[in-house]
Amino acid sequence: MRNFEFHRPQSVADAVTLLQGNDAAKLLAGGQSLLPVMKLDLAQPSDLVSLAGIPGLKEIRSEGNDLVIGALVTHHEVASSPEVRQRIPGLAALAGGIGDAQIRNRGTIGGSLAHADPAADYPAAVLALGATIVTDRRSIAADDYFTGLFSTALAPDEIITAVRFPVPERSAYAKFPHPASKYAVVGVMVAKTAGGVRVAVTGAGSKVFRLSALEKSLSENFTSQAASAVEVAPGDLRTGGEASPEYLAHLVKVMAKRAIQACS
Amino acid sequence: MSSEGLGVSVARKEDRRFLLGKGRYTDDLTLPGQSYAVFVRSPHAHATIRSIDASQALKAPGVLAVLTGADVAADDLGGIPCGWTIHNKDGSAMVAPPHPALAQGKARHAGDPVVMVIAETRTQAKDAAQLVEVDYEPHPAVAHLNAAVADGAPKVWDEAPGNVCFDWHLGDSEATDAEFAKADRIVSIDLTNSRVAPNAIEPRAANGHFDDVDDRYTLYTTSQNPHLTRLLLGAFTLKVPEHKLRVVAPDVGGGFGSKIFHYAEELLVLWASKRVGHPVKWTSDRSEAFLSDAHGRDHVSHAELALTADGHFRGLRVRTLANMGAYLSTFAPAIPTYLHATLLSGPYVIPAIYAEVKAIFTNTVPVDAVRGAGRPEATYLLERLVDKAARELGIDRVEIRRKNLIQPDQFPYQTPVALQYDIGDYPATLDMALQAIDYDKFADRKAESEKRGKLRGFGVSTYIEACGIAPSALVGALGAGAGLYESATVRVHPTGSVTVFTGTHSHGQGHETTFAQLVNERLGVPVESVDVVHGDTDRIAFGMGTYGSRSAAVGGSAIYKAIDKIVEKSKKIAAHLLEASVADIEFEDGKFRVAGTDREKTFGEIAFTAYVPHNYPIETTEPGLEDSAFYDPKNFTFPGGCHLVEVEVDPETGVVEVVEVAIADDVGVIINPMIVDGQAHGGLAHGIGQALLEEAVYSDDGQLLSGSFMSYCMPRAADLPSFKVGNHVTACTHNPIGIKGVGEVGAIGVPPAVINAVIDALAPLGVTDISMPATPEKVWRAIQAAQGGAA
Amino acid sequence: MATISLIVNEKNHVVDVEARTLLVELLREHLLLTGTHVGCDTSQCGACTVWVDAKSVKSCAMLAVEADGAAVTTIEGLAKNGSMHPMQEAFHTCHGLQCGFCTPGMVMRSTELIQRNPNPTEDEVRHGLEGNLCRCTGYHNIVKAVLSAAETVRGGAQ
């Protein structure tokens, strides 16, 4: 690993200042994605700005019909939070299936969303639940947030502070994990929300995406048969990985079906 | 009877240090003045090294030296030798290309070490290694067997036309042809035995120290056999006489074959230590381990079985291509030949067998022994073929095996492929395993699985293995460069406690406990009063280490022989003290007694007398109580048994779950049942890993695609069920304890049982073949193809 | 270089480290606590598992500077007053270790597992250990040891 300057600011504003004008600086939250890539020299930041010293980013709270989860809340805390388990059990279950226990003790929701790994689990939840990414300067709708492979709508010096989830009527996540890495080969989150049915797929593409055809048929008739009927074109899916696009397309349907069954 | 002798599950003596975090593994040891080595390895599978520019690296902080193949050549270090020579069908010797410790002229696989950087800290060495510039001219490379033997394939070595290392055969071709000519049925199969990476959880490490005061080298290394490493360093690579070389293998975090071999890094840290005047330590990263530890398996075979109409085996023909990788590792040529083709009779009566094995060079990491080594390949081939024969002839899979098993009254049994099995009871282990898994109720379980949308399959494998390899004269005649005996010294201390020095090496097997149990069994000394010393060439006279399930069968026998001498001498001392004739002294339960009387001396009293010889038969007997023995096995040992597996396949995703494993092994006499079961468990996980999860995948141009635990799937706890393990003992007839060996049985027996179970589950859908590893996508595609789907 | 202070196995330490120093490097190379092992470079094997503020983490996926002010427990700190933790005892009696290399991480994670879930099923234990690799035992006796230790601890709490 290349060396770097380590910073531990006490406020979001100070953290933003440290990022400004330094393209080679990176934020550090739980580090469960960033440190492994830095160890392999795949990322070589000049500065790491740790968020760990900033108060107020570790809360889970209800605000009206929303559940607000601070950026530094760990996967384990989401998975074991009575509030999340009661209000959005599908989200708690998703968080409880990320990586492994040790990773869930360190990895954070904010870190996962900022990293935007195309095979991460949280993006599926954020997109399917129609969540809002709250940053130091604005709120970004999930539909506008994921812009591509490992890329997001965040400005280089912008910091996620929380994620706001509208509580759905029902939701569930079905994941086909990679046997070695435990990332999602395909993960499908299905949510019945006030604004209609939303279905998000992670793993299968260069970024998380919605299955609008399935959302439409589920809005009319919320049954698992709808998943089998929907057409997923292999051509739209990731290539070059271990799984072929045909298999990925098939898994999208199967995981969608299982997610629907789990939230029926 | 003693309470800690044979057959007792004594909890392990070695556990405490590991559980308290006080184990001493090679990387844990930091010597005064320690420096650190990092290797720059070729990113190309095949390339000419045009030039190396180390100028920037040499200027980096803390750097002590940057060494290359030219330095290795200038100092006349020997190439890494291959310890086994195989001869071609025409009697000529195999092609054994040079294997310089650092690449000279060309790199021949991705990961081939090119430059060694030594610095004061590990971090400095890593930083400086980034500054070394190597100018490569890449060449076409070849990784896979069928591509390597194709016309016009890239040549790994100019001296090996067609990339052939050797073209070898075993068995009677004419007799086999005759059986095929009169056979009622012939069943054939094409198989790939997938390539695996060994992946002991402790990565390899080596710490070399040259002491210029004593003019002596010490190597701390992650080795399964420190004496063999010293032998090869002394005679071939470092070329220093053995009294000037000490090799220590301290606690070693698993081996599985990969730490048998003498690796270049072991030589290089010693050599570099003398050059830089500091101890030099190298510790492998996992990514580096994937590119530098010898891999295993990687066979492509075509096999044919000749049968009578009622399913009796008459003849077997096998053609195998075996991948050697880019260089010949220490025992590589022996694996697909004498540890594979000789096993092709399995536990069956097959009157004629003929096997041809071609070993092939490719631009990949060398391939050598991994847990089982050759025997899993033979078992997989035979058990897949037998299952296919059962299906094609419409005979029950269990019955076709039962019909062909060698019967208990047929031992000793001479196979047509050189081995003579001494003893076994294969029908007994088959029945025992069937009972353990409740075979009669399989249909009920299958129906229950089906209700949950799962396809359940049952798989069987009856197997034998050959271990405790075996008379030195025989292996020498077959091409081995070493003897394969074992040594032991039993030192009885004046107060009656005992230290055992063994030439085997324990890296998980529990010898510190089981060998103490042997002493307890024979001398009555409590296990806690027996220490077992292993892994240090300065403390142990000689040894051949631990691999091939040999330690208890060969090393334990050496301990028994040394104890025989101790008992014999003790009887003389007892006879003197008890004023009786030696012939009248009986030894039982730790006491020497004059037969038919109550006059006795304890073993402790004899030991004390031996060291305080005031009243002593000094005219005929030397003081002291210590003896050594070397044991050279009379034959291989032949563990065998039956492994049964039930799987559930999710037809929607192709995911295979192993839901039941029941095995019955005959590993001979058991010292410690708990440890024996533990060895079986580990082997089963290894074998199930190969069958379903693990594969070292190379691209066509020689890049290892599954080169980390992110992509190479190691079995985890949730991938496996609990195992039902049973044992049926027939005692080995030719060693003094009756032990056969258990370290590899799981990895040998279970892979075909898993695949046979998967095929059984999918057979109703029309699937007849699936290769290892049976990954979800592969299973899903097989289902689609069988059903005429688009995939 | 950064100066950090932390508690390791109930002992205070003040150490100078480079920013890039991993927690496991601090433990093994600076504090000479070599019971914590490194088995991979991609944070899968779990041999480096320690507790940071009472939670099991992979010390190869955490910077030493991130542990500034934290309380770290390694395998060397698990036994108290010379007697092994019930999890260590259970690994011994159930033969839950062979080569011993994965054992420290396995024990640290298993101990957290039964703290969070005092009465786990076999399936919960198997899934709870998915961050730890063992090549020797086939996990059979590790699972047995964790279930046995859970029972011991439950018994002791009653």
Question: What's the CA gap between A120 and A75, in Å, rounded?
Answer: 12
* Complex-level ipTM: 0.98
Tell if the CB–CB gap between B653 and A176 is shorter than 8 Å: yes
Residue of C35, C34, C45 lying closest to C129 (CA atoms): C45
Specify the 3-state DSSP secondary structure of C49. strand
pLDDT, one tens digit per residue, over B57-112 is: 999 999 999 999 999 999 999 999 999 999 999 999 999 999 999 999 999 999 99
Question: What's the CA gap between B298 and B366, in Å, rounded?
Answer: 11
C126 CA: distance to closest CA in chain B (Å):
5
Q: Which residues neighbour B579 within 8 Å (Cβ) at sequence distance 6 or greater?
A: none
Whether the CB-CB separation of B641 and B676 falls below 8 Å is answered with: no
Q: Among A1, A48, A103, whose Cβ lies nearest the Cβ of C131?
A: A103
The single-letter code of the amino acid at B106 is K
Whether the CB-CB separation of B290 and B708 falls below 8 Å is answered with: yes
Residue of A161, A144, A163 lying closest to A153 (CA atoms): A144
Strands A25-28 and B455-464: unpaired
Scan residues 294-333 of B and list those with Cβ closer than 8 Å to A: none
* Mean residue pLDDT across chain A: 95
Q: Give the strands of the sheet with B585-588, arranged side by side.
A: B585-588, B591-594, B600-602
Which chains reach chain C with 3 or more Cβ–Cβ distances below 8 angstroms?
A, B
Contacting residues of A for C132, CB less than 8 Å apart: 100
Q: Give the strands of the sheet with B486-492, arranged side by side.
A: B530-533, B498-502, B486-492, B626-631
Q: Is the CB of residue C109 less than 8 Å away from at least one CB of chain A?
A: yes
What's the rounded mean pLDDT across residues C114-119? 98
Measured CA distances, B42 to B45, B252, B292 (Å): 7, 28, 11
Residue of A116, A136, A130 lying closest to A16 (CA atoms): A136
Scan residues 230-249 of A and list those with Cβ closer than 8 Å to B: 242-244, 246-247
Residue B687 pLDDT: 98
Q: Among C42, C125, C137, whose Cβ lies nearest the Cβ of B708?
A: C42
Measured CA distances, C82 to B44, B438, C78, C79 (Å): 53, 46, 10, 6
Find which of C49, C95, C130 to mutate to test the B interface (most B CBs within 10 Å of its CB): C95
Whether the CB-CB separation of A98 and A159 falls below 8 Å is answered with: no
C23 CA: distance to closest CA in chain A (Å):
12
pLDDT, one tens digit per residue, over A134-183 is: 999 999 999 999 999 999 999 999 999 999 999 999 999 999 999 999 99
Count the Cβ atoms, other than its own, within 10 Å of residue A5. Answer: 14
Residue B791 pLDDT: 45
Q: Among C35, C44, C98, whose Cβ lies nearest the Cβ of B678?
A: C98
Q: Among C32, C78, C143, whose Cβ lies nearest the Cβ of B717?
A: C143
Q: What are phi and psi of B283, to 5 degrees?
A: -130, 125
Crossing angle of the two packed helices B426-437 and B397-404, in degrees rounded to 10: 160
Tell if the CB–CB gap between B781 and A181 is shorter than 8 Å: no
Whether the CB-CB separation of B416 and B351 falls below 8 Å is answered with: yes
Q: Among B20, B681, B715, whose Cβ lies nearest the Cβ of C79?
A: B20
pLDDT, one tens digit per residue, over C39-53 is: 999 999 999 999 999
When computed from its CA atoms, the radius of gyration of chain C, rounded to whole angstroms, is: 16
Whether the CB-CB separation of B91 and B75 falls below 8 Å is answered with: no
B165 CA: distance to closest CA in chain C (Å):
32
Q: Is the CB of residue B11 less than 8 Å away from at least one CB of chain A?
A: no
pLDDT, one tens digit per residue, over B268-324 is: 999 999 999 999 999 999 999 999 999 999 999 999 999 999 999 999 999 999 999
Tell if the CB–CB gap between B716 and C122 is shorter than 8 Å: no
pLDDT, one tens digit per residue, over A223-235 is: 988 888 888 888 8
Measured CA distances, B786 to B393, B765, B779, B783 (Å): 21, 7, 11, 5
Report residues of chain B scoring pLDDT below 70: 1-2, 789-791
Q: One digit per residue, pLDDT tens: chain A, 264 residues?
A: 999 999 999 999 999 999 998 999 999 999 999 999 999 999 999 999 999 999 999 999 999 999 999 999 999 999 999 999 999 999 999 999 999 999 999 999 999 999 999 999 999 999 999 999 999 999 999 999 999 999 999 999 999 999 999 999 999 999 999 999 999 999 999 999 988 999 999 999 999 999 999 999 999 989 988 888 888 888 888 887 789 999 999 999 999 999 999 987
Tell if the CB–CB gap between B710 and A180 is shorter than 8 Å: yes
Find which of B652, B703, B713, B779 to mutate to test the A interface (most A CBs within 10 Å of its CB): B652
pLDDT, one tens digit per residue, over B561-616 is: 999 999 999 999 999 999 999 999 999 989 999 999 999 999 999 999 999 999 99
Q: Is the CB of residue C14 less than 8 Å away from at least one CB of chain A?
A: no
Residue B473 pLDDT: 87
Instruction: Pick the residue from chain B with its C-alpha nearest to C35.
Output: B21
Scan residues 180-219 of A and list those with Cβ closer than 8 Å to B: 180-181
Instruction: Pick the residue from chain A with its C-alpha nearest to C50.
Output: A102
Residue A263 pLDDT: 86
Residue B2 pLDDT: 56
Tell if the CB–CB gap between A4 and C63 is shorter than 8 Å: no
Tell if the CB–CB gap between A179 and B713 is shorter than 8 Å: yes
Q: Among A5, A40, A101, whose Cβ lies nearest the Cβ of C109?
A: A101
Structure pTM? 0.97
Instruction: Pick the residue from chain B with its C-alpha nearest to C124.
Output: B718
Long-range pairs of B780-784 with CB within 8 A, sequence gap ≥ 24: B780/A247, B780/A250, B780/B653, B780/B654, B781/A247, B781/B654, B783/B651, B783/B654
Tell if the CB–CB gap between A100 and C131 is shorter than 8 Å: yes
Q: How many CB pairs under 8 A join B and C?
A: 186
Which chains reach chain A with 3 or more Cβ–Cβ distances below 8 angstroms?
B, C
Tell if the CB–CB gap between C65 and A106 is shorter than 8 Å: no
Structure tokens at A218: 């589920």
Q: Among C98, C143, C144, whose Cβ lies nearest the Cβ of B508?
A: C98
Q: Is the CB of residue C61 less than 8 Å away from at least one CB of chain A?
A: yes
Whether the CB-CB separation of B606 and B437 falls below 8 Å is answered with: no
Residue B108 pLDDT: 98
Tell if the CB–CB gap between A52 and C57 is shorter than 8 Å: no
Contacting residues of B for C35, CB less than 8 Å apart: 20-23
